[in-house]
Each structure stands twice: as structure tokens, then as C-alpha cells.
Amino acid sequence: MTVHWRRTRLPDRVTRENQMQLDFTDHELEFRDEVRRFIAGHYPPEVRERQQRGLEIRKQDYLAWHQAVARRGWSVPAWPIEYGGTGWTPTQRYFWDEELALADTVPIISFGTGLVGPVIYTFGTAEQKARFLPDIVAGTVWWCQGYSEPGAGSDLASLQTRAVREGDHYVVNGQKTWTTLGHFADWGFFLARTDPQARKQSGISFLLIDMRSPGVTVRPIITLDGAHEVNEVWLENVRVPVENRIHEENQGWTCAKALLAHERSGIAMVSRSKVALARLRELAAGVAERGRPLSEDPTFRRKLTGIEVDLLALEYTELRMLAAETAGNVPGVEVSMLKVRGTELQQRLNELALEAVGSHAALRVRATLAPGAGTVAMPAAVDVADTYFNMRKTSIFGGSNEIQRNILAKAVLGL
Amino acid sequence: MTVHWRRTRLPDRVTRENQMQLDFTDHELEFRDEVRRFIAGHYPPEVRERQQRGLEIRKQDYLAWHQAVARRGWSVPAWPIEYGGTGWTPTQRYFWDEELALADTVPIISFGTGLVGPVIYTFGTAEQKARFLPDIVAGTVWWCQGYSEPGAGSDLASLQTRAVREGDHYVVNGQKTWTTLGHFADWGFFLARTDPQARKQSGISFLLIDMRSPGVTVRPIITLDGAHEVNEVWLENVRVPVENRIHEENQGWTCAKALLAHERSGIAMVSRSKVALARLRELAAGVAERGRPLSEDPTFRRKLTGIEVDLLALEYTELRMLAAETAGNVPGVEVSMLKVRGTELQQRLNELALEAVGSHAALRVRATLAPGAGTVAMPAAVDVADTYFNMRKTSIFGGSNEIQRNILAKAVLGL
Amino acid sequence: MDFSFTPEQEMLRDSLARYFADRYSFSRRQAMVRSEQGWAAGTWRGLADELGVLGAGFDPDVGGLGGGAVEHLVVMEEIGRALVIEPYLETAVLGGGLLRRWNSPRAREWIGRIVDGEVRFAFAHLEPPARYDLQHVTTRATRQSDGWVLDGLKDAVRGAPFATHLLVTARTTGADHDRRGIATFLVAADAAGLALRRYATVDGSRAGDVRFTGARAELLASADDGFDALEAAVDEAIAGLCAEAVGVMRRLLADTVEYTKQRRQFDAPIAANQVLQHRMVDMYMRVEQAVSMTYLATLSLSRPPAQRMRAVSAAKVFVADAARFVGQAAVQLHGGMGMTDELAVSHYFKRATMIESQFGSADHHAHRLESLAPDA
Amino acid sequence: MDFSFTPEQEMLRDSLARYFADRYSFSRRQAMVRSEQGWAAGTWRGLADELGVLGAGFDPDVGGLGGGAVEHLVVMEEIGRALVIEPYLETAVLGGGLLRRWNSPRAREWIGRIVDGEVRFAFAHLEPPARYDLQHVTTRATRQSDGWVLDGLKDAVRGAPFATHLLVTARTTGADHDRRGIATFLVAADAAGLALRRYATVDGSRAGDVRFTGARAELLASADDGFDALEAAVDEAIAGLCAEAVGVMRRLLADTVEYTKQRRQFDAPIAANQVLQHRMVDMYMRVEQAVSMTYLATLSLSRPPAQRMRAVSAAKVFVADAARFVGQAAVQLHGGMGMTDELAVSHYFKRATMIESQFGSADHHAHRLESLAPDA
């Protein structure tokens, strides 16, 4: 049977409205300017100075910036307005992330705002919300995450930490690991097994634990770059009031899943990578062999161009998802792609920086020079190698890139 | 407990004999010259002319060269001397392969010499040896392989072809595929299931079938480059005398395994790739943009250099295995590495050739030009794309590169 | 910012998809490209008369639908998906782009003929030693009392054997690589002084070398300053080519996912192999990002030249690499079947491969990108 | 052609392996490199007195064992395998290579001191703007009535804080990049006019910037024509570095295979993942080929300069890329544990990373390869 095609199957003419377009609205651009002005005017000068001098960023530095943002009312943009959210559009949230990146601010630590906060406002009781949310919004309490356990890795549900009910308390025993900045934490949110007989994901509860409770020990894990960023947390007969459990007993996995799905925005770190690319260009322009700057070496340039192109591809893929979100489509597991490609690009940028500084990459100067001893011959080389080493974590933590590809294979391709 | 180390644990002095060294012996080099002279003097001029004119290589062309080699006594170097082998050292065999490659000869088709021949002299009866081996050595009979079946792919043992014993014959029914140059074949060697109840690898027999037998149909498979190289072979009630079975009934898998392990020498195709690299350099020197030859474009050069380095790495890896073989160590599954890396390099060479000819790669001229119509603007571009397309097979056929990596993971790394 | 298609654009896509499914199935396409002529005029007529799609990118006052670059994107993606060889890119996108810029009564006349399906163009630009340099033009245009005549050789002119007219770049003045002095002409395929040597292309189309010996030609727009318009129209064609690549790659990915789920080996579908799964995820990620880059290029066509060129070249770099990866992976995962002429996958792979170099390779466009200021 | 080790070479390898296993375990090594001094003199003494290995590459008449490049390869591979920071490369290979070429009574005296473990060298060559250009030398050597004095700045001198003497390249004549006029000198680490700024390196060693202000120096061999010898000795050092990389990579691969077999996730060893298996196969293939390239470079050291340089540069290109791939994959497959300072794997990864650029990156050596005729 032949279908009869008629010209009327096509519109007679195309409307010029609602056409696909790259430009942002004036309103959006005004918002961006406002954000830019706010950051320029309120970023704590002493934090900026520590960054510029290459000094370690302390707990109070992170909090100072969080508190400045909170005073402006922007510390939890993605939250429901009733709990302090801004009601921003996805585009506004994107601009906020981008401006923070372009201004090279210290991050607003997301354990409270991005992770436990949403769990509390989604699953918590009115009392729990009233007790915990305001401090998270204000940035007066530092939260940490007690999820991973030694030997569990990406297989989160195989956790061994036990919480045994004794009256109105749980007695918690176990060990957590990879707890980022846990040494700064006032409170932590933990997954613990409350029903040892249940199947893997069942029988887990979500507990909030005061890190000053007796029996809580935080031990540093030094990473290969010499930094203290992650920790082990030991829990020995830690007594946790039952009212600090979020959601029903044995329903912790529901909280955990919700949390993992949250706050994917900015995961590709495009803006941070753009800043890194600009710095890399600068670095390469300052390095020369036989008088020719590395930035003019065709082999090096071609690698930079490859990264530039891939970064654009990632940026516009993220923007497409953002536009879809704006149009009401909640992003799905496709965001795993942003994580995979984003970390691959960050790591390629680190590799090129390492190539740019050449043999000088070997120098670990900052940590070993007496203060005021002056700079080495190539100041730009300082930290390049340690950054390269440190950033290897990005393809491992938060669900390794192999796990992300497994997820994509299953969820997107139906394999 | 501390071990006491004494200087006497080391030799007092090192002997200068038997030291590791790169050079070949004078005797080996003389042999290479002899091979080179033989090829130069005996390669059929009419075959060379067809190659130079880009004409199709016919059955008689392959056989003419095989027969010339046979007259010199070199057609089955790896065989035991009693059946016609040369008794060459691994180095001599390597030189033979290399000189053939450097002289760009048509290959000596290996279905007889490399595959079925060794099976016959290993597992065959005295009668079978006397009947089949001399023709293989002389190059008067063309053999083909009936192994793969539609739907089986790399899972060889899942074959469906049935051979049912009826008196002193087997009646064979089934379908084989990917039979290379089967349309030239006088005889074929086939795997057929003789015991349908047996476990996968058991119950298979190894049969020699006269391709002119009633019920044998060879149908061309045209590959993506438009070439007729492989075929389907249909077997419909083909009667095969029992005396054409090699080894015991149901022991065919033993023959098949022995055959797959055979004749790995030259599998990396290093010498052929060296010739291809030299041609690619020539090609790139003849292509220019704004007056600068592509061979001087730094981006293109860097890719060439990468291939050159990887080719050296493969060559010396093969030579190490060869040296180990010379010293009496039979190469193991490590040769899978030669196959994987060899084909990856061939394919990268094809990719660069494609890049070199640029948009001209689109032209399929030879097949569509009237004879004598002259050459196109870029004669070098002819066949580059079809070669690229054709050579995609190298990472698929003969056990895909994925299967080779599975083998290496299991056998070499114990995974 | 908005990346959604309008209802009209969705309608355009659906109509084309159904039209090609009905009229341009893979087996029909194969029968056609293997025929003596290598093409069937009916498809082009159908696109004009039955679908009216040839006017998608032109203004209503010349008989078009009033669309633009996004409509071209929609059409080209469907062309890629169905492996269509008809010269929409050369005729409506490239030729149309030049004619729109000319913007004269005569140009509107030509556009009307495009919309009505009366003319088909081939782009006769490449000269043997030019490689990808758009400015390398040595074919000479000479003004005579009654018009222009061309002399020179163009090779690898895709679609020339099917064209009614050739779009020919020629030099009115200046040296071989000068920007100034390049103009574009239209020459009737049957003009005296035009000799065509035909041959097949590996991806199922036909092409030819064209020699002009005093062939009469019609000048499009300006004689000496035609290069800016040419460069812009070629960028539009590159964006269209990227859209075609997206259609080709989507099909390669879909076929591969489907095939690996069905094909069993060692008692399991081969899609159960984690290595194959990750390869397909890598294909998927490249396809999705190629889509993004195609949108970027398409929506940048109306921006200032440096921005336009940067977006288009970046898209071509990405798409060329993606086309290679996706094509090779599709064939590899199809195993022996991917090597056969019989399955569609090998033909999509061949088209993907040719798209890599059409209008400039990844390296060529990377170099163009490098020649433009990073912040332009 | 022969790639087998002699029984004496096997004995050398076994002795070193057992010595390092006993005296240089990972935990001892870590305690040592974290100490205030960053090293322990005992190891060097042990290598000299207990093992006598420092003479492996020297002739018997200067107290050596009569070995050569292959003995250096054996030693350096074991150094890589045990992550040894002691300056065998700088002292015995590079310094020894220069001294062997000088071949004077004074040189034999120095060699004797190397064999006896009395001296340790650091190679003070790199100057801030030189990058990898071996000919870029601006440090000045001036002849005075009673010898030479040096003036200039060398930076990133690996092992300088442990050295008894620095091997310093300096210019006796010519402009900054001239081949002629470069000589190598020995300067005592405690010489007047030598100022050292110390710091740690990321791979567990120490380094320093060295300023020479009229420091007294001893000239090795010729004043104006020292570059050929320097270039040859540095090539020997690069071959040695490749051998070290092989040792490092063998350990990275072995640890990764072991770890993925033991580590369970989702109720199976993670080594059951096909993607991880193939990654390890790719590591294995790179390691094996790096071995081949190291043999090629080592056995080519005695060939004519162009052949030697080609083999050495090709080896460095391959080994640098392999070191990156193998190191990154090892950390990735160890997951979070690979990121910790606690396991050996991260330290082997860091050493592998530094080997990438030591004596020139992959791109640098690719360019050197390109500058030499293909058939030389």
C-alpha cells in the first residue's frame, strides 16, 4: 500500500516565534550581572588572600563565604522556597554555579545544603526540620557523610555498620571511610544496618550523629598528594537518640537513593574547566624551548584545541539538559554522562598542565620550603603535580566512571 | 633476621660472551640475501605487472608464485623436514616472512600450508599423508576452511553442521560462512558434528571434502569494500568417504585446537606495516595544502611518529618471542598480543592514509572507470578507502580483538 | 536559550521520516544506487511535489516555508538517517545560501526553481592541489561581451552526474590563494565546454571530474568579493553535514544496540559483555555530544563571522572524530556481519567515514579554530 | 640476536632483588623518605660494600665487574621495582658514562671512588628556560690560573641534597644554544660559592636549586667539545630510566592484578569485570612492549650516534606513554585505595609520572626522532 503524500502534510509557512536559539534573555543576563556584582562585593578578602598566597583553606574560610552567601539568601537555591530556596530557574542556578567558578571562589560545601538538607526536608518530621535546616541554610553547622565503608567501594548497600535499638537510643558500631572533610564536621549523616536479617538494601536506617558524641573517632586518610581531605570515622558504641533517625526504621535506603539523585547540577564542572583551560593557556605561553613558547608548539596546541572542542561539546550538552529541565523534563540518568565526560576533561587538563611544566612538575615546594624562602625558578609549577594526583579521585569517587558507564548501559541503552 | 650480604654474592667479573645483542649473525644475514635474491629472480613477472596495474589477483597468480617457491623447496618452511619442511631457525623463518613483505609479493595462501597440512601430518594416517601432503607442498591444490557458521562467530564450538554416518560415508548437511577464497578451492576442511548428544566441544569430527562433490554450493559474500573475498558454503547431503576423516570420529576438536595454535609467526604483520608506513610517508609527501606537503605538517607528522614508535615496539616484542623460541621456548598465548597490536597498527595506518588523501578518499574509481580512461587527479587515492574498509576485518576475523583480550586476561594474567 | 523544536519543525521531521520509510527503504536505496544511473529522479520530484520540503529554508515570497538553518538541520538529519544521496545539501543549503545572500530578482528566480524541484546542484570547488583550502581557486572566469566563461579543472565533484547545474568557484582576479577575486558561478550541466568524467563514490553516490573549456557561466552576485558569501554558505553546509552525521550516527548506534541484544554467543546475548556495553555507552555519549555541537553550529550561523566560524569548525572537529569512533565501533560490534555489503550498518559506516573529510577534516578545522582568536 | 640474560646478569638481578626485599621494604623506604634528611646513607654503603654493585658497569681494572649497559639495565629495573631513590643513575650510569669516555688516570680515580661508594653525584643541568633542550647552557665556566670556576643557576637538581658532588654542565664558549662550548664539571657539594636551596620532590626524593658563584670545579675531559660525550651519556641515562620504568610498571601491574582478584564488590572479585580485565591486558601489553623498547635502546647505545639517538628517543616516547597509562590504570583499578598514601601503588604511580618527563617528554623525543633521518 502506498501512502499518498500531499504538500499539506507540511505547514504552509513556519512561524518565526519560539524558534530554537542560543541567546539568554535580558532578564537572565541581568541576573548574571547581579550575581557577579554580589560575588565581587562580598567574597571575603581574607579568603581570597589565602588562595592567592597558596595557603591552606581552613574551616572558618569555607564558613565565612557560606555565611556571606546565606546573608544574601542564596545558600540553598535548589531548595523549596519554604525552607530557604530561591525559586530560581535552572538557568539562574547555572549562572550561579558558573559565576562562582569564574570567580574561583572556594566551594560552598554541599554536605549540608546539597545532601542531608534535602533528605531532612523530604523525609524529616516537623521537629527535625525546625531543628536542623536553619543551621544548614545559615552555614553555622558543618555536616559530613558516613556512607562508604572499607571494602564496600561502589557497592554501597553492602554496609556492615550496625545500629542496635536500646530503648530510645541506637547503639552504633562500625567504620566509615572516605569521609570528606570529616575532621571539620559538627554533625554527620550515617547509614547503618538496623535489621541484620533483611536483604541487602532493606534493613538500613538513616541516622544523624553529633560528631562530638562519645565513641566517635575521626582519623585522617592522607592521599597520594600528601593532603588531608578524607577521613576514616570509627563508631564505637555511639549512642544516637531515636529522634535523630530520619524516615522510618529500615527505610534508610530510600533516603540514600533520593540523596544520590540530588544536586547533579554543575556536576560536569564545565565552568571550572574553562577557568583551568584559560590558566593552562597562560601557563603554556610562559614556558618556552629555544625561545618558542609552548603555546605555539603545534603538537601542544592541537591537544589544547581538542580539549577546547570537547569542553564545548560538554557545555552544550549540559545546556541542552538544562533547557529540557526548564521545559519541565527532570533530568534522568543521562547526567551520568556529564560526570564521566566532566571528569575525563578535568583529568586531561591536569595532564596537559603537567606536560607544560615538564621536569619542574617533580618539585613539591610549598610543603617543604621555609616560609618566606622565596619562589622557585618556575612558580607556576608548584602544585601542578599534586593537583594532577589529587584529581585522579574524580574518576573514582562518587561512583567510579566504570560504574557510571554500567548505569548508562542499563538505563539509557537498555543493555 | 638480617641476611648477611657479601660481595661474593656477585660474580667477580662479567664474561663478555653470550651477551644480549641486537645483531644477526653473518650466517643469518647471508641467508637473508639469498632469500632476497631468490624472490627478485623468481617472482612471476606477470603477477608483479597485475599488482602494479591494480588488476585483480587471480587464482592462477597465487598458484604461480606458490609453485615457484615450491620448486625452490621453501613452500612449507615450518613443516617437519620429512614432509617438505626446511628446518629453518625461527630467525630464518622471520627473514623469509620479512623479505616477502618487503618485496610486496602476493601472499602464499596458508589454508593448505599453514592450516590443514599440519593437521594432516600430525593426525592423519600414512595413506592420508601420502595422498594430500605432496599437492599442498607443490601448490597444485587449493584448500579452504569450513569452520565458522552463521550465528556462531567467535564461539566456534557451537557449530550446527551435521555429519551422519551411512556405511562408509558421512552424509553432511549444514552451512559454513566467512570461507575466505572458497570460490577458488579444490578441497576444503570442515568441522561437523558427528555426535549430537555430546557436550559442545565433543562429538565434532574433522572432514576433508572435495569441493566438486554434489551438494556443495559456494556463494559469494560481498564485503563492504565491494570485494568478493569470503563466501558461504552450503552442504546439502554431501557424501564424504570415511577415509577423508582426519583423526578419530568425534575427535575433531583436537585437530581444530592444534590448528588454531599453529602458524602464529608473522601474525603481527610488522614487515607489511613497515612497507605501508613507507608508502604512507610517500603519499603524505605528495599531498600539499598552500604549498606545504602534508608530511611536514606537525600534527600529521606526530601521528606518523607515534605509529613508527609503536611499530618498533611491536617488532622488538615479536623478535623477543622469536629469540625465546630459538632458545627452545615455545610461544604461548602471548602471541594474542601480536595479533591485537598488529591489527591495531594496520588499522591506524589505514586511517592515516585516509586522512592523507582527504576528500579524494570518496572516489571509487577503478571499479567504475572504463579501462584505459586514464587516472584521476590523485591516483594515489584510488583504493585507499576500500583498503581502509576491508582492513576493518582484521580486528574481527580470526578471533576478534575482544576475544584475544579475553584470552590474554585468562591465560596470561590469570583473571 | 531554547533547544526545542517548534511543532512545525516536528511535523517536518515526522513527514520526512515517514516519507523516507515508505519510499527510501534500505533495499530500495540499494537497488537504486546499484542501478546503471545510480539514482532515481522520482525522489527529488517527490521531495518537491509531494512533500514541498525543498522550500523549507526559503522565504514564503519565493515559494518557501519561511524556515532557516534549523529546518535545514531537521531535513539533513533525516537524510542522514535514511542514507539519502539526493543533493539537498548542495542545492538547498549551499546553493540556497549563496542565492539568499545575492538577494536579486534573478536569485529569487533560481530559488523558485529550487523550491519547485526543477534544478539540482553539485558543488564544483575542489581542485587537485587545494586539499581543504577554500581559498585555493585557479579555475579562471573571464568576462566576455555577453557574459562569463570558465576554464579549469575541478575534481571529485560529488553528485555531478545527477546535477542539472554546477555551482562553480572560479577566479576573476588575483593569485591562486587570494581571498579577493573568488566568485561563484552556475553552469548548466549540459553546457558546451563542460566535460564530465563520472565515477562512483564509496558511499553509494556518484561523482565526477569536470573540465571547463570556455564554458558559459552565470555569475552569482559580486565578481571580486564573492568569498565572504562563499565562506558563509559553506559554513551553513558544514552545519548541515553535521546534522546528516547525527542522523547517520543515531542509526549506527540504534542498529548496534539492537544487534548485540539479539546476537547470542557462548549462550548469552553478546550485549551481556561489559566491554561491549561500555563501547556502546561511549558511542552514545559521542552521539549526544555531536547533537549538541550541531545545534551550536546551526544556531551560530547568524552570528558574526568569527563566532560563526569558531562554532562551525569546533562542531566539525567533534563530529568528524565522533563519526569515526561510532562507525568503527558499530562495525566491530556487528562482527563479521558488519563487514558485509548486505547489512545497512556497513553503508552507514561508509557514509560516516566520508563525512569525516567532507568540507575539511578534524585537523583542518582544528587549525582553523587555532587561527581565530580564542575569545572571538 | 639474543635477548637472554647471562647467568651472571641473572645472579646480579637476584642479589639486588633479595637485597632490596630485605633492606628496602616499602615501609622502611617510607620511613626513610619521610625522615628529616630524606635518605639513609646506609643503603649506598651497602650497595658498595655488601653487594659491590656500584662497579657493575665498569671495567675490572678500575675495580668494576666488567659489565656494561645490560648490567645497568638489570640494576635500574630492580631500582624501579623497589622504588629506590639512591642516585645509581646519576652516579654510575651518567657520571660513569662521562668518566669512561674521558678515559684518563684522573677519570679512573673517580671511577674507583664510585665503585667504592665514596661519591654520589647529582646532575645539575637544567636551567629555568631550557625546558628539555640539552644544548641550552648558560652557566659560565671560566678558566683561572689554578683551574675552573663556575657561575650560574641550575634548578630542579634531583638528589642534590644527598650528593657529594654535582655533575654540572657549563659553557666555556659560544652562545646559549651552541653545541660547541659545553663541558661537564664536577663540583664538590660543600664547595665555596655553591648555594643550595632544598626541597622535596613529589616522588619521595629531594632536589634543589643550585647557585654557583665562582665555585671551583674540575673539568671532565675536553673544554669545548664536551657535548658529544654528554649527549651519549644522557642517552645511556635515558635507557637506564626506561629500565627503571619497566621495574615500576611491572610492580604496578602485579599489584593491580593481585588487588582486583582479592577485592570483592557486588559479591564477586572486581577482577571478574570484563572492562577491568581488558584494562589490565592493555597494561600488560604496554609493559611487555616497554621491555622490548628498553632492550632496543640499551643494545643500541654502542651503535653510531644517529641510530643510538633514534632508538633511545623511540624508547622514551613509548615508555613515557606507557608509564602514564599503566600508572593511571593502576590507581583507577585500586579505587579509593589507590588514592591513599598508605598503599605502595600511589607511590609507584607518582614515580612513573615523574619518569614521563625526566630527560624529555614523549613529545620532545618524538620531535627529536623526527629531526633524525628515518633510515639513519
Domain boundaries, chain D: 7-119, 122-224, 228-371
When scoring C260, C266, C270, C275 by the number of chain D Cβ atoms within 10 A, the one with the most, hence best to mutate, is C275
In CATH terms, is domain D228-371 a member of 1.10.1130.10?
no
Provide, rounded to the nearest whole percent, the portion of chain C with pLDDT above 90: 89
List of chain B residues whose C-beta atoms are within 8 Å of the C-beta of residue C156: 359-360, 362-363, 376-377
* Least confident segment among A200-204, A346-350, B118-122: A200-204
pLDDT at B329: 76
pLDDT surpassing 60 at residue B328: yes
Q: What is the model's pLDDT at position A367?
A: 47
Per-residue pLDDT of chain D (376 residues; tens, 9 = 90+): 889 999 999 999 999 999 999 999 999 999 999 998 899 989 999 999 999 999 999 999 888 989 999 999 999 999 999 999 999 999 999 999 999 999 899 999 999 999 999 999 999 998 877 889 999 999 999 999 999 999 999 988 999 999 999 999 999 999 988 999 999 999 999 999 999 988 889 999 999 999 999 999 999 988 778 999 999 999 999 999 999 999 999 999 999 999 999 999 888 999 999 999 999 999 999 999 999 999 999 999 999 999 999 999 999 999 999 999 999 999 999 999 999 999 999 999 999 999 999 999 999 999 999 999 665 4
Whether B365 and chain C come into contact, CB under 8 Å, resolves to yes
Which of C289, C298, C370 has the most A C-beta neighbours within 10 Å, making it the best mutation to test the interface with A? C289
How many CA atoms are closer than 13 Å to the CA of B17, on its beta-carbon side? 0
Q: What pLDDT, on a 0 to 100 scale, did the predictor assign at position A2? A: 42
C206-220 vs C194-201, strand pairing mode: antiparallel
Please check whether residue C285 touches A, CB under 8 A: yes
Mean pLDDT of B382-394: 91
Residue of A nearest to C70 (CA): A20
At residue C81, does pLDDT exceed 60? Answer: yes
Rounded to whole angstroms, the Cα distance separating D208 from D196 reads 6
- pLDDT band of residue B9 (cuts 50, 70, 90) is low
A378 pLDDT exceeds 90? Answer: no
Residue B370 has pLDDT above 50, yes or no: no
Average model confidence (pLDDT) across chain B: 89
Is A263 noted as a catalytic residue in this protein? Answer: yes
**A299–chain B Cβ distance below 8 A for any pair:** yes
Are D273 and C274 an interchain contact pair (Cβ–Cβ within 8 Å)? yes
Q: How confident is the model at residue A1 (pLDDT cuts 50, 70, 90)?
A: very low
* Cα dihedral A394→A398→A400→A403 (10° resolution): -150
Task: Tell the CATH superfamily of the C122-224 domain.
Answer: Butyryl-CoA Dehydrogenase, subunit A, domain 2 (2.40.110.10)
Mean pLDDT computed over every residue of chain C: 95
Q: pLDDT, tens digit, for every residue of C149-183?
A: 999 999 889 999 999 999 999 999 999 889 999 99
More confident of the two residues A365 and A173? A173
Q: Which of C332, C345, C331 minimizes the C-alpha distance to B400? A: C332
Contacts of A392 in chain D (CB under 8 A): 328, 331-332, 338-339
Sign of CA dihedral D304, D305, D308, D311: negative
What tens digit of pLDDT does each residue of C29-72 get?
999 999 988 999 899 999 999 999 999 999 998 889 899 999 99
Between the alpha carbon of residue C40 and those of residues B274, C199, D114, the distances in Å are: 45, 17, 84
Q: Comparing A100 with A11, which gets the higher pLDDT?
A: A100
In what helix (H) or strand (E) does residue B384 lie, and over which residues does it extend?
helix B384-391
Distance from CA of D42 to the nearest CA of C (A): 49
Best C8, C61, C281 residue to mutate vs chain A (most A CBs within 10 Å):
C281
d(CA B58, CA B66) in angstroms, rounded, equals 13
Q: Which of A358-372, C194-208, D305-319 has the lowest mean pLDDT?
A: A358-372
Subunits next to A (3 or more Cβ pairs <8 Å) are B, C, D
* C307 interfaces chain D, CB cutoff of 8 Å: no
What is the structure's pLDDT at B365?
Answer: 58
Interface confidence (ipTM) of the complex: 0.95
| D132 touches D97 (CB < 8 A) | no
- pLDDT for B130 equals 97
Task: Report CB contact under 8 Å: B7, D9.
Answer: no
What does DSSP say about strands C147-158 and B245-246: parallel, antiparallel, or unpaired?
A: unpaired
pLDDT band for B377, please (50, 70, 90 cuts).
low
Burial class (CB in 10 A: 0-12, 13-18, 19+), A40: exposed
List, by residue number, the catalytic residues of B: 263
Work out the average pLDDT over A60-64: 97
Cα separations in angstroms, D366 against B282, B301, D241, D326: 19, 9, 17, 20
Q: How far apart are the C-alpha atoms of C230 and C171, rounded to whole Å?
A: 13
C-alpha cell at A160: 556492615
* A128-142, A269-283, A367-381, C239-253: the lowest-pLDDT one: A367-381
What integer pLDDT is reported at residue D346 of this predicted model? 98
> Among C156, C335, C354, whose Cβ lies nearest the Cβ of B153?
C335
pLDDT band at B282, cuts 50/70/90? very high
> Does the pLDDT at position A230 exceed 60?
yes
Element (H, E) at A189: strand A187-193
**Which alpha helices (H) appear in B43-145, and where do they start and end?**
45-52, 59-72, 90-102, 110, 117-123, 126-138
Which pLDDT belongs to residue A135?
Answer: 97
| D128 reaches A (C-beta below 8 A) | yes
pLDDT at B344 over 70: yes
Mean pLDDT of A226-232: 94
pLDDT-derived band at B289, boundaries 50, 70, 90:
confident
> What would the DSSP string read from start to end of A58-92?
PHHHHHHHHHHHHHHT-S-TTS-GGGT-----HHH
pLDDT at A156: 73
- Say what the pLDDT of residue A250 is: 95
Q: By the CB < 8 Å criterion, does C60 face chain B?
A: no
C-alpha cell of residue A343 = 571528569
pLDDT, chain A, mean: 89
- Is CATH 3.65.10.10 what the domain over D7-119 is classified as, yes or no? no
- Which of D203, D56, D185 minimizes the C-alpha distance to D117? D56
| Structural domains present in chain B | 16-108 (1.10.540.10), 143-250 (2.40.110.10), 268-412 (1.20.140.10)
User: pLDDT higher for C184 or B11?
Assistant: C184
Q: Which residue of A has its CA nearest to D156?
A: A360
Q: Chain D 245-274, CB below 8 Å of chain C: which residues?
A: 273-274
Catalytic one of A28, A229, A249, A263: A263
Q: What is the DSSP string of A323-368?
A: HHHHTT----TTHHHHHHHHHHHHHHHHHHHHHHHGGGGGEE-TTT
Residue ranges in chain D assigned as alpha helix (H): 7-23, 26-33, 41-45, 69-82, 88, 96-102, 105-115, 227-262, 274-299, 305-334, 344-357, 362-371
Residues of chain C with Cβ-Cβ distance to B158 below 8 Å are 265-266
For B56-88, write each residue's pLDDT tens digit: 899 999 999 999 999 999 999 989 999 999 999
* Residue that wins the pLDDT comparison between A53 and A118: A118
Range scoring the smallest mean pLDDT among B164-178, B269-283, B321-335, C273-287: B321-335
Residue A375 has pLDDT above 70, yes or no: no
Which chain A residues have a beta carbon less than 8 Å from that of B298? 298-299
Same fold, D122-224 and D228-371: no
